[in-house]
Structure 1
Amino acid sequence: MDKHAEQLKEYQKWVREELERSVNFWLKNGMDHEHGGVYTCLDRTGKLFSTDKSVWFQGRCAWTFSYLCHVYGKKQEWLDAAKSCLDFMEKYCINREAGDRMYFTVTADGKPLRQRRYCFSEGFYAIANAEYYGVTGEKECIERARRAYELIYQLNNGLIKDPTGMGPKTIPETRTGRALADPMIYLNITAVMRRCDPENNALYEARAKECCETIFKYHFKPELKCTLETVGMNGELQMDYTAGRVVNPGHDIECSWFVMEQAKHTGDEELRKKAQTLFDYAYEGGWDKEYGGLLYFIDCKGLPPEAYEHDMKLWWPHNELLIASMMIYRDTQDEKYLKIFDETLEYCKKVFSDPEYGDWYGYLRRDGKPTEPACKGSTFKGPFHLPRCLMMVDQLIDEILAR
């Protein structure tokens, strides 16, 4: 057993209690029992402050409650929450007239509000259906997941034109490029698909390998000690404008553990080490040495970031930091990473966690105080990053204690 067993057991006790508080917060306050699906715009106490619904979170919520069943065993209230979100997406969130592209936001009763060019709604729809299939065996769900998975691949790789008619973010004749989000998120989607759909394992193995190659060929820049969000089509640096210099430390750290999972799956130690270096660059560049916590955006040249929120502290990068640091500790037994985990956990307990009402504050100022009025959810925050983190850390500690 690990020499830090008692310390790890203390972490695990807190993690399990925090997971229960988070899950109960969303079950109590988020689920829409009239129209189906989940609301995410909730204040500190769980009171609703906007009825518009995030399509990302219909999928993310369905995945979260399905994965809870996968990890801890089926509970009817978890299955019901997942099914509610899946049914709401199927009924309201798919633009059937535009090649089954999905909306970004809809009204409480499902009327479309906004379509975006990005494929993340489809990605979260895919993992939700795959995970639900994994715990229920409902064949239609894995068929939905497979169709969405392939649609994303075709769109991301320019094999088809976007059926919505929306073009690239910038005029391609002037500037084109690659976004880190595409291969890293697709890598995570692929991992879920592979676990839940072993029938198509060969496809998922090939796609996961391709994602990792893309990340390190184009975005990972050891000469700059960072991983860039945006690069030219051949990985070329674009240092003359702010978008080309953006580093998102939380995103990079999330990417690192996606790659570490792939490396563990394939037994590729060289890939694992590269993922660890990716983590190291992000942590060293992003940790706020004055106030603690991860900065949201940094400029790889140390120039002023353009995003107004660049020095805020958001919940999800810290979730990714907890997962990745514990994962590296599991794989290396290097106490440096256990120390990073401990420092991050203490920071999160102090500034993000809210035992009185459950779940975490989403948005803090640089000094760690919540924006006012404080909120627990938004279009971009709901039951996903935090419960995923807590479930994964719980499992990682189990693995460490069992060795």
Structure 2
Amino acid sequence: MKQLEQYQNQMKTELQNILQFWLKHAPDEHHGGFVGAMNHENIPDYSAPKGVVLLARILWTFSAAHQAIPNEQYLNMTQRAFDYLIKFAFDAEFGGVYWKLLPDGQASDSRKQIYAHAFVVYGLSEFYAATNNELALEKAIELFHVLEAKSYDTQYGGYIEAFNKNWSAIHDVRLSGKDKNEKKTMNTHLHIIEAYANLYKVWPDKVLKSKIIHLLQLFVDYFIDSTSFHLNLFFTENWELRPDVISYGHDIETAWLLLDCAIIIGDIEWVGAMEELAVKIANAAAEGLDSDGGFWYEKRMADQFLIREKHWWPQAEAIVGFFNAWQISQQKHFLKKALHSWQFIQNHIIDKKYGEWVWGVDANDRIMQLENKIGFWKCPYHNARACLEMYQRLSMLTF
């Protein structure tokens, strides 16, 4: 299909555009590492704290890109990210990694947020795959053991969201102000399984595999609603559901990521189960699609109020999630949805003036200019990964 061949070329081009933006704008030549924040007009804020998640996502992105499209600039970027993480992000006293750093690299918020640990494992394992750096694998395995020793709930299963610096209990476990203050969240579990599966690719350990299967089972038992096939986001320690919102981006991201994890561990039964769920979750997520191909952000469950914003990252996940559902089911409407999502991104999300992707647009397609282009949450992860994932999937098709 000529349309899919064109799609493949567009994905590669856009991936390279995103990476060039980060190569040009992200390095912090004042303090080392990368800038903590940059506004919509590409003006950096050198006084902003540096999120460890941002650093880990840069490490993963350029490590993955270098393996697909070898490039010395990408490799240099991975080394910069790795060196900075190793020097500043790890807590030598109590173990684990910090949540965020001051501009000079010193710990700013010493809490132990498990979400950040997952992304550091994700980035380190990808860096090892790209470079065979033994220290990277050693540190990734070290963090796996930390998570199992400190965060894994031996009574109820799953992983506790956050801790104090010394791994004592913390009252406020939230990732951000918009989240519910609950000890177990779908979001963190999704990124733990993603990280563990990526580690398994380079370290096929039996215990690690059993933990990935445990996480898949948790999604079936708790996180994936067995009636609506939307994702349940927040739970108490003993798995009491705390209803909040329907997150369309998390729906469609989960649809393809869990299947990817099952494929990585090579479990045929789990692959079949995740294929079936991927299609059902994609169908549920499609409720969040607007007629222009854009993906609404969230809907509150209490009053069914739709948050009429279209953020960059759900758009990125949509093109992969719907394409994945098409590959499994061969239902053409999924392919149309993936193509329509990409069209919306081209029309409204790619920043043709300043580069990269805007944070999002409102219901009238006005750019959300007060949000950062680079920041604590705005990283080259969702969009670069989507382009890379699509480029690789399309490369395996026969046109």
Is TM > 0.5 for Structure 1 vs Structure 2? yes
Alignment of 1:290-301 (within 5 A): 292-301=293-302
CA distance in 1 between partners of 2:102 and 2:41 (Å)? 22
Structure 2 runs not aligned, ≥5 long? 155-159, 175-180
CA distance in 2 between partners of 1:297 and 1:67 (Å)? 29
Quote how far apart the aligned CAs of 1:352 are.
0.4
Equivalent AA in structure 2 for residue 256 of structure 1: A
Residue 351 of structure 1: aligned partner = 348
Equivalent AA in structure 2 for residue 246 of structure 1: V
CA distance in 2 between partners of 1:278 and 1:81 (Å)? 36
Alignment of 1:153-172 (within 5 A): 153-158=148-153, 163-169=166-172
Equivalent AA in structure 2 for residue 252 of structure 1: D
Instruction: Establish whether residue 389 from structure 1 lines up as the match of residue 386 from structure 2.
Output: yes
CA distance in 2 between partners of 1:158 and 1:114 (Å)? 24
Tell which deviates more after alignment, 366-375 or 187-196. 366-375
Residue 289 of structure 2: aligned partner = 287
Equivalent AA in structure 2 for residue 187 of structure 1: I
Alignment of 1:371-390 (within 5 A): 371-373=368-370, 375-390=372-387
Equivalent AA in structure 2 for residue 7 of structure 1: Q
1:221–1:374 CA distance, 2 compared to 1 (3 A) = closer
Deviations 1:55-79 (A, max 9, x none): 1111110111111122222x22212
**Contact 1:325–1:341 under 8 Å retained in 2:** yes
Equivalent AA in structure 2 for residue 287 of structure 1: L
Choose which of 226, 232, 237 in structure 1 pairs with 2:230. 226
Quote how far apart the aligned CAs of 1:382 are.
1.8
Instruction: Give the 4+ runs in structure 1 shifted more than 6 A.
Output: none
Choose which of 184, 195, 210 in structure 2 pairs with 1:206. 210
State the Cα RMSD in Å.
2.5
Quote how far apart the aligned CAs of 1:155 are.
3.4
Instruction: Establish whether residue 178 from structure 1 lines up as the match of residue 184 from structure 2.
Output: yes
**Contact 2:119–2:191 under 8 Å retained in 1:** no
Equivalent AA in structure 2 for residue 332 of structure 1: S
TM-score normalised to structure 1 length: 0.86
Residue 314 of structure 2: aligned partner = 317
Choose which of 329, 334, 355 in structure 2 pairs with 1:332. 329
Residue 58 of structure 2: aligned partner = 61
Residue 369 of structure 1: aligned partner = 366
CA distance in 2 between partners of 1:153 and 1:251 (Å)? 24
**Contact 1:362–1:377 under 8 Å retained in 2:** no
CA distance in 2 between partners of 1:349 and 1:176 (Å)? 37
Which secondary structure does the structure 2 equivalent of 1:101 belong to? coil
**Contact 1:263–1:272 under 8 Å retained in 2:** no
CA distance in 2 between partners of 1:36 and 1:25 (Å)? 18
Equivalent AA in structure 2 for residue 210 of structure 1: H
Residue 241 of structure 1: aligned partner = none
Residue 245 of structure 1: aligned partner = 244
Residue 20 of structure 1: aligned partner = 16
Equivalent AA in structure 2 for residue 95 of structure 1: D
CA distance in 2 between partners of 1:231 and 1:123 (Å)? 19
**Contact 1:250–1:316 under 8 Å retained in 2:** yes
Equivalent AA in structure 1 for residue 187 of structure 2: A
Which secondary structure does the structure 2 equivalent of 1:298 belong to? strand
Deviations 1:347-403 (A, max 9, x none): 11111012343210013223221123564222110222111111001001112237x
Residue 3 of structure 2: aligned partner = 7
Choose which of 267, 270, 273 in structure 1 pairs with 2:273. 270
Quote how far apart the aligned CAs of 1:127 are.
1.8
CA distance in 1 between partners of 2:78 and 2:387 (Å)? 18
Equivalences, count: 380
CA distance in 2 between partners of 1:116 and 1:253 (Å)? 30
Deviations 1:125-163 (A, max 9, x none): 212221111122121110100111222233332359762
CA distance in 2 between partners of 1:262 and 1:45 (Å)? 37
Tell which deviates more after alignment, 155-164 or 392-401. 155-164
Residue 124 of structure 2: aligned partner = 129
Quote how far apart the aligned CAs of 1:188 are.
0.6
1:170–1:16 CA distance, 2 compared to 1 (3 A) = closer
Quote how far apart the aligned CAs of 1:225 are.
4.3
Alignment of 1:21-100 (within 5 A): 21-52=17-48, 53-73=50-70, 75-97=71-93, 99-100=94-95
CA distance in 1 between partners of 2:15 and 2:389 (Å)? 11
1:363–1:155 CA distance, 2 compared to 1 (3 A) = farther
Quote how far apart the aligned CAs of 1:333 are.
2.1
CA distance in 1 between partners of 2:301 and 2:240 (Å)? 14
Choose which of 134, 143, 158 in structure 2 pairs with 1:139. 134
CA distance in 2 between partners of 1:65 and 1:295 (Å)? 29
Quote how far apart the aligned CAs of 1:36 are.
2.7
**Contact 1:37–1:86 under 8 Å retained in 2:** no
Equivalent AA in structure 2 for residue 127 of structure 1: Y
CA distance in 1 between partners of 2:363 and 2:374 (Å)? 19
CA distance in 2 between partners of 1:384 and 1:51 (Å)? 23
Quote how far apart the aligned CAs of 1:320 are.
0.9
CA distance in 1 between partners of 2:371 and 2:241 (Å)? 38
CA distance in 2 between partners of 1:335 and 1:92 (Å)? 48
CA distance in 1 between partners of 2:293 and 2:3 (Å)? 22
